[in-house]
Chain A
Amino acid sequence: MSVLLHVENLSAGYVQPEGRVLAARNINLQLAEGEFMGLAGESGCGKTTLAYAIAGLLQPPGRVFEGKVLFNGRDLLELSQAEMRKVRWKEMSIVMQASMNVLNPVMRVRHQFYDVLRTHSERHDPQYFDQVALEMFRLVGISPEYLDAYPHQLSGGMKQRVAIAIALALRPRLVILDEPTTALDVVIQRSILQQIDSLRSELGFSIIMITHDLSLLVEIADTIAVMYAGCVVERAPAEELYRDPHHPYTQGLMRSFPPLVGTRQRMHGIPGQPPNLASLPTGCPFHPRCPRAMPGRCNVMTPSLQEVKPHHYAACLLYADASSSAASQA
């Protein structure tokens, strides 16, 4: 399996008057062709900043401070705006959170396709654009008559599917989905995710899906990376992560989903709340909420990602070697 995307030591965040706030710290990720990676984390974990950094969409005060985004061997961060425009939509596209609000309300759907295709493809003929639009509508399961509708005439689920259709129009190699189904009901949510997955089988693209809902990812992703306070704290194949979570935060998250069936019993989430990225605790950012924190170690040293089992990585001092050179002083 060849590597499509390699994020190397990426740090990104925001420049504030008081100084830099790092929302994504030292991120290392690899995505193979056709792989479905889920990026799970709650509010303030930096996942959206990471997604935007990869897609080259961070606007001031957002900035990439360090690192590389290697896409097909090229560092996207080194490209000019013009070169990036050729990559965007054609090779990499992004479906943003609440995409339904991203569709232009005064433009018919058909013209929103035209807009994207005119800007990012080499073609100019409306016949080609119509062909693409019809094909994409077929793929996402919307009746062609809606091509001439305005966004407000579509339901939330349909708007989301239109956004996905536009994101796939130029057959990109990588699609980034940022909370693609958050505002939607469960039935629509599952339909859309099923759709995305079959499109992936049909068209062969890779996916990075960002969500706070780990339970969704466990069912459909190949690999899951869990983010907390700007860092990837665990990464493993989905099945492996589900069966054998190592990081206490992942374990806590897994326990936060009441099971649908079976008898009811008291459960507990994770006490406290995620830290403010502008003022992280010393050492491991999770230690104040961690049931297994080791005083004198976890509040002092910041763990880094280490392989704890084949293909399974966790950033936790519980698994670090005693004489580890990987864990660094905070």
Chain B
Amino acid sequence: MRAVNDFNLTLQRGEVVALVGESGSGKTTAARVIARLYQPTRGAIMLNGREVPAKMSRRELLAFRRHVQMIFQDPFSSLNPLHSVRYTLSRPLLIHRLAQGREVEQRVKEMLERVGLTPPELFINKLPHELSGGQRQRVGIARALAVGPDLILADEPTSMLDVSIRLDIMNLMLDLKDEEGLSYLFITHDLAGAHYVADRIAIMYASYLVELGPSDDVINEPLHPYTELLKSAAPKTESGLKPERISTSYDIPDLAKLPPGCPFWPRCPHAEPQCKVRVPELREVAPGRFTRCLLR
């Protein structure tokens, strides 16, 4: 059973790409393969023009982690509950030999300030349970930044946070991107959040990339029927209180039992006989705009 099929994506330096999909779409698996937490069955990952080998030695893996870091969804389980903030943030510096001695303390304080946990003295000795969800997520971001990575994979970094602090966390990530020249792969099921944060949006459905393009274009003029469905299902306070009724069968596809042809055809209002034959190719139908749909 494949969680990810035919995944092709190029990320530019300083770019944010949002990977949007529901659970079971394969987006988290895709991210973890890129982060080398899982091994891919097939295919290649190129970083800065060089291929990242499927099997890496400990040294190679360590070097890789200097370039690619992850931020996780759950601020409550992604920090070791027994480690103080100081310890959590010192570790990457020490492991990667980026600082030593008194410099470490100084760097940790700088990192705390960068992510808005000021004054750093107030936070540096705290244990995770003494911090709020938003504060813990900031520590997670600081930890990812510690090694000066090129790419951060953020797996639903705000979905478990209260609504009123999500924007500030997203803004922090955007500011850090500008200051550090970072790239982000931002994984989410929240289309509005993706639109806010990303330069480009990639939509995944049942293990396939089904649409890819500039953020504004994908939202304002979706090319794939699944994108249209996501758009109509998203809460829209600005819709003027005319709630949209969506009509589709409810359940997400079982990846172990995908029907032949386009994985979306059972739910697609525009499905035609040709859609059931084979999985369409992801094609560029306009400059920079890709879709996996026979109707375009």
- A and B part of one assembly: yes
Residue ranges of A at the interface with B (Cβ–Cβ < 8 Å): 42-43, 141, 155-158, 185-191, 194, 212-216, 218-220, 238-239, 242, 252-254, 256-264, 266-271, 273-274
Knowing A158-B251, A273-B134, the reply to whether A264 touches B168 (Cβ < 8 A) is no
State whether B168 touches A269 (Cβ < 8 A): yes
From A43, A186, A220, A266, give the contact of B234 (CB < 8 A).
A186
Nearest A residue (CB) for B242: A219
**CA distance in complex: A214, B238 (Å):** 12
From A185, A191, A212, A261, give the contact of B163 (CB < 8 A).
A212
**CA distance in complex: A170, B237 (Å):** 34
State whether A260 touches B241 (Cβ < 8 A): no
State whether B251 touches A264 (Cβ < 8 A): no
State whether B191 touches A186 (Cβ < 8 A): yes
The prevalent SS among residues of B at the interface is helix
CB distance from B41 to the nearest CB of A (A): 25
From B164, B165, B238, B251, give the contact of A260 (CB < 8 A).
B238
Chain B residues contacting A212 (CB-CB under 8 Å) are 162-163
Knowing A185-B189, A268-B168, the reply to whether A260 touches B236 (Cβ < 8 A) is yes
Chain B residues contacting A274 (CB-CB under 8 Å) are 162
State whether A190 touches B252 (Cβ < 8 A): no
Nearest A residue (CB) for B116: A271
From B164, B229, B251, give the contact of A252 (CB < 8 A).
B164
State whether B250 touches A141 (Cβ < 8 A): yes
Q: What are 7 contact pairs spanning A and B, CB under 8 A?
A: A194-B246, A259-B237, A260-B192, A260-B234, A260-B238, A270-B164, A274-B162
State whether A254 touches B23 (Cβ < 8 A): no
**CA distance in complex: A158, B252 (Å):** 10
**CA distance in complex: A242, B239 (Å):** 11
Nearest A residue (CB) for B219: A261
From B22, B134, B163, give the contact of A253 (CB < 8 A).
B163
Chain B residues contacting A190 (CB-CB under 8 Å) are 232-233, 235, 244, 246
State whether B246 touches A273 (Cβ < 8 A): no
State whether B192 touches A259 (Cβ < 8 A): yes
State whether A258 touches B241 (Cβ < 8 A): no
Knowing A187-B230, A257-B192, A273-B134, the reply to whether A239 touches B171 (Cβ < 8 A) is no
State whether B241 touches A253 (Cβ < 8 A): no
Q: How large is the interface on B (under 10, 10 to 19, 20 to 34, 35 or more residues)?
A: 35 or more
A-B contact count (CB 8 A): 137
State whether B163 touches A258 (Cβ < 8 A): no
State whether B166 touches A269 (Cβ < 8 A): yes
Knowing A219-B236, A242-B237, A260-B231, the reply to whether A271 touches B251 (Cβ < 8 A) is no
Chain B residues contacting A214 (CB-CB under 8 Å) are 163, 237
| Binary interface encoding of chain B residues 55-94 relative to chain A, with 1 for a CB under 8 A from any of its CBs, else 0 | 0000000000000000000000000000000000000000
Asked if B98 CB lies within 8 Å of chain A CBs, one says: no
Nearest A residue (CB) for B193: A258
State whether A256 touches B167 (Cβ < 8 A): yes
Chain A residues contacting B216 (CB-CB under 8 Å) are 263-264
Chain B residues contacting A156 (CB-CB under 8 Å) are 23
Chain B residues contacting A187 (CB-CB under 8 Å) are 22, 229-230, 233, 246, 248, 250
Chain A residues contacting B244 (CB-CB under 8 Å) are 190
Knowing A43-B162, A268-B168, the reply to whether A188 touches B250 (Cβ < 8 A) is yes
Chain B residues contacting A253 (CB-CB under 8 Å) are 163-164
CB distance from A164 to the nearest CB of B (A): 13
Chain A residues contacting B220 (CB-CB under 8 Å) are 261-262
Among A155, A158, A212, A258, residue most surrounded by chain B Cβ atoms (within 10 Å) = A258
State whether A157 touches B163 (Cβ < 8 A): no
Among A42, A219, A242, residue most surrounded by chain B Cβ atoms (within 10 Å) = A219
CB distance from B160 to the nearest CB of A (A): 10
**CA distance in complex: A187, B229 (Å):** 8
Extra A-B contacts (10), CB below 8 Å, given A43-B133, A190-B235, A216-B235: A42-B163, A189-B233, A219-B239, A219-B243, A256-B163, A257-B192, A257-B237, A260-B236, A271-B168, A274-B162
CB distance from A254 to the nearest CB of B (A): 7
State whether A273 touches B132 (Cβ < 8 A): yes
State whether B241 touches A219 (Cβ < 8 A): yes
State whether B165 touches A270 (Cβ < 8 A): yes
**CA distance in complex: A216, B243 (Å):** 10
Quick one: which of B230-281 are within 8 Å of A by CB? 230-239, 241, 243-246, 248, 250-252
